[in-house]
Amino acid sequence: MASADGIRRGLFSSVELVQSCLDRISKTDHQIGAWAFLDPDLALGQARTLDERRSRGLAVGPLHGVPVGIKDIFDTADMPTAYGSPIYSRRRPGSDCTAVSRLREAGAVIMGKTVTTEFAFMAPAQTQNPHRAGHTPGGSSSGSAAAVAAQHVPLAVGSQSNGSVIRPASF
């Protein structure tokens, strides 16, 4: 992956990469609506910690410093998980699900939560296709797909059930 390789080779730091992603999100997400939760200070704090570890020669994982969006059905210890539903809008799980745990172990910066349809099942979310205004990315992983397509993050986690990933990937 180019982002991880650039960090490993010292072309840029994790903080610089995360800040670049945050700048793109700030400029375009008001039109796209890919993000359900984003805390720039939290993302930059993770990046600073990872840059410090790297500067001390500590082990780095294959995704060291790479920002990753997480679909809002995956639990994260430090962010809300609402399942795309207003009834869970204040839910804070307090622990990471296995997928997020593994991403952190690999050195990823958990950037924030991407929009999903309610309970990853209902009609398409309000997220817009970043390359075709007025069109949906489709599927419950639409926020994750739009975040990658808009270059908000190099990677995002989605889930596949009833077209949740394949639909946004094809739109």
Helix or strand run (H / E) with residue 110:
strand 109-114
In the predicted model, is pLDDT for residue 22 greater than 70? Answer: yes
Please list the active-site residues: 71, 140, 164
The whole-angstrom separation of Cα 127 and Cα 59 is 37
Q: What is the pLDDT of residue 159?
A: 82
In the predicted model, is pLDDT for residue 169 greater than 70? Answer: no
Q: What is the pLDDT of residue 171?
A: 54
Residue with tokens 């593994």: 102
17: closest CA among 29, 75, 9?
9
Q: What is the mean pLDDT of residues 49-54?
A: 96
The per-residue pLDDT for range 93-132, each reduced to its tens digit, is: 999 999 999 999 999 999 999 999 999 886 777 899 999 8
**40 CB contacts (<8 Å, ≥6 apart)?**
22
In the predicted model, is pLDDT for residue 12 greater than 90? Answer: yes
Per the structure, the count of domains in the chain is 1
Domain harbouring 77, CATH code: 3.90.1300.10
Confidence of residue 133 (pLDDT cuts 50, 70, 90): confident
44: closest CA among 93, 95, 112?
112
Domain range for 161 is: 2-170
Q: What is the pLDDT of residue 139?
A: 78
Q: What is the mean pLDDT of residues 39-63?
A: 95
Q: What is the pLDDT of residue 10?
A: 93
The whole-angstrom separation of Cα 40 and Cα 21 is 10
The per-residue pLDDT for range 56-77, each reduced to its tens digit, is: 998 789 999 999 999 999 999 9
